Structure 1
Amino acid sequence: MTTPHPQRWLGLSVAVAVTAGCGGNPHTAAPPELTPSASSSGSQSPTPSPAPSPASDSPTTLPTPDASEFVTRIDNPWMPWSPGTRWVFTGRTTDGNERTVVTATDRTKVVDGVTTVVVRDVVYREGKLLEDTYDWYAQDHAGNVWYFGEDTLEYDGQNVDTSGSWEAGVDGAEAGIVMLASPAPGDAYRQEYYKGEAEDQAKVLSLHASASVPYGRTANLLETEDFTRLEPAATEHKYYARGVGVVLEVSLKQQDRTELVSMTNLEKE
């Protein structure tokens, strides 16, 4: 597969990342492109870039991951999974207020022959546990970040649902790319593939978006449109800051909004 530019689907070689330890008390990390806000009030909605039509593109099968194509850490500036780092988000959704805590752990897991970094993602709605997920990421030699699956538990107050879980190399599931090494407007890529269960895709819209969230105000954000044919109404725009990762997610239909509140390093004070 060739590099997508513009309107072509990306197929790149695979690679992964291992992690170091985490622990200790949180210490606010200094983001290179964000100026921390004094308060969470006054967050402004960005103006979304014109959305391309996902229906016109058809992603091709990605190559089978080869462990030899992976490096030992994930340091892509748009998605830096540095062990011991924690991101806290708050969200306003049609179903209630949510709080999400994402932690890059010091754990690794071999998935489809590749050593991946384990990232924990815990979601609370109105103070109650909604979802507890372990995601598996890896980075290739070129700097592209790959997604190898997840082990997820969803709670509805009475039952536990694990149907969102999938693993590359099992039952036909395949790893996908969640962040390009050098994203450019028009690039498109498949983020995951487990037929009928996980078929997220993304397109790069801009490298010059701007937004204001509780954690800070910034420009020159990477903006993507994330979508899936399984839920056409679930299309959302994501905004990434260099050295930080995702800072804002906006659902286009429901206008649900999730914002970065803090980024801390658990290995420091």
Structure 2
Amino acid sequence: MRIPVAVVATVVLAVGGVGTAAVVTSSADVADRAHHGHAVDPGRFRHPEPNAYFPLTPGTVFRYRGTDEGAHYRERLSVTHRTKPIEGVRTRVLRDVLRRADGSLAEKTSDWYAADDDGNVWYFGERTATYDRHGHVASREGSWQAGVGGAVPGMIMPARPRPTDAYRQELDRGNAEDQAWVVQRGFSAHIAYGRVHHVVRSLEWSRLEKGVVSEKLYAPHLGTIWERDLSGGSERFELVSVHRP
């Protein structure tokens, strides 16, 4: 199902234009606290449940290929064995490395995620850097950490994502304000990795990037399998391979 740009714009205005986005999940109370500027309860992360649509198994490596503004890229996303304590929660460190077609480093990011006892996966921040072709850091824009400067965790994937779920993925005002809206689930998709089933589709955008809306597809035990800009950008990436421990 292709979402018309007019519909996308309406949703962005309706959901992104309010102070907080609604969350319809089994842990709506936890999400509601986070979205109103309160830290999540570390007690809800003592016995984390796996989330099929956002796997965090250490040692797993996902490889993607894609284009942005006509340039070709290769991406390697690793679920590391490292953890980082943030706001009383032990988060999992994911390492995301983006390289240009010639092999030069374009971007390197460490992301911090944690699943709660209900299986919702939360996003606690990232340390990111983009690089010029000489290997020098060009920018660290977008880096943030929950508990620092008023930033709070956001939800990256509900335990049971379903259409009409809408939620903040990150909240560091003026720096990181991504949001998502689940619009479809239960269909099949064919990508470079192969044919996958029980796919979830979401629309994602940032209040800091007016007019840019991305479509993302998630699949069980694979996480993100596809993303592309529907409006306001040219980025497009798809999953190529997965190495499991």
Q: TM-score range by the shorter chain?
A: 0.7 to 0.9
- Equivalent in the alignment of 1:251: 229
3-state SS of the aligned residue for 1:233? coil
- Equivalent in the alignment of 2:114: 138
Distance (whole Å) between structure 1 residues aligned to residue 186 and residue 3 of structure 2: 10
Q: Work out which of the residue numbers 102, 106, 109 in structure 1 matches 2:81.
A: 106
Q: Work out which of the residue numbers 40, 53, 59 in structure 2 matches 1:78.
A: 53
Note if contact 1:71-1:139 (Cα within 8 Å) is conserved in structure 2. no
Q: Which amino acid aligns with 1:257?
A: R
- Equivalent in the alignment of 1:66: 41
2:186 corresponds to 1:208: yes
Distance (whole Å) between structure 1 residues aligned to residue 46 and residue 111 of structure 2: 18
Shift of 1:66: 2.2
Shift of 1:163: 2.4
Higher RCO by CA contacts (8 Å cutoff, separation 6 or greater): 1
CA RMSD of aligned residues (A): 1.7
Note if contact 1:202-1:225 (Cα within 8 Å) is conserved in structure 2. yes
- Equivalent in the alignment of 2:62: 87
Distance (whole Å) between structure 2 residues aligned to residue 61 and residue 95 of structure 1: 39
- Equivalent in the alignment of 2:32: none
Distance (whole Å) between structure 2 residues aligned to residue 214 and residue 109 of structure 1: 33
3-state SS of the aligned residue for 2:211? helix
3-state SS of the aligned residue for 2:67? strand
Shift of 1:73: 4.9
Note if contact 2:162-2:185 (Cα within 8 Å) is conserved in structure 1. yes
Q: TM-score, normalised by structure 1?
A: 0.77
Shift of 1:198: 0.2
Q: Work out which of the residue numbers 126, 129, 138 in structure 1 matches 2:105.
A: 129
- Equivalent in the alignment of 1:191: 169
Consecutive aligned runs of 4 or more in structure 1 exceeding 6 Å deviation: none
Per residue, is there more strand in 1 or in 2? 2
What are the within-5 Å matches in structure 2 for residues 23-34 of structure 1? none
Provide the aligned length of Structure 1 versus Structure 2: 220
2:127 corresponds to 1:151: yes
Q: Cα distance 1:217–1:109, how it changes in 2: closer, same or farther (>3 A)?
A: same
Structure 2 segments unaligned to the other structure (5+ residues): 21-34
Q: Could you report, residue by residue, the CA deviation over 1:150-181 in whole angstroms, capped at 9, with x for unpaired residues?
A: 11121123541222211000011110000001
Moved more, 52-61 or 104-113: 52-61
- Equivalent in the alignment of 1:96: 71
Q: Which amino acid aligns with 2:94?
A: V
Q: Could you report, residue by residue, the CA deviation over 1:31-57 in whole angstroms, capped at 9, with x for unpaired residues?
A: xxxxxxxxxxxxxxxx43453512112
Moved more, 60-69 or 189-198: 60-69
3-state SS of the aligned residue for 2:208? coil
Shift of 1:111: 1.0
Shift of 1:219: 3.5
Note if contact 2:114-2:121 (Cα within 8 Å) is conserved in structure 1. yes
3-state SS of the aligned residue for 1:54? helix
Shift of 1:252: 0.7
Moved more, 117-126 or 51-60: 51-60
- Equivalent in the alignment of 1:260: 239
Q: Cα distance 1:80–1:71, how it changes in 2: closer, same or farther (>3 A)?
A: farther
What percent identity do the matched residue pairs reach?
A: 40
Per residue, is there more helix in 1 or in 2? 2
Note if contact 1:185-1:207 (Cα within 8 Å) is conserved in structure 2. yes
Q: Work out which of the residue numbers 233, 240, 251 in structure 1 matches 2:211.
A: 233
Note if contact 2:47-2:117 (Cα within 8 Å) is conserved in structure 1. no
Q: Cα distance 1:264–1:210, how it changes in 2: closer, same or farther (>3 A)?
A: same
Note if contact 1:74-1:82 (Cα within 8 Å) is conserved in structure 2. no
Q: Could you report, residue by residue, the CA deviation over 1:32-90 in whole angstroms, capped at 9, with x for unpaired residues?
A: xxxxxxxxxxxxxxx43453512112224254122211045562010011000000000
Q: Which amino acid aligns with 1:94?
A: E
- Equivalent in the alignment of 1:8: none
Distance (whole Å) between structure 1 residues aligned to residue 187 and residue 207 of structure 2: 25
3-state SS of the aligned residue for 1:217? strand
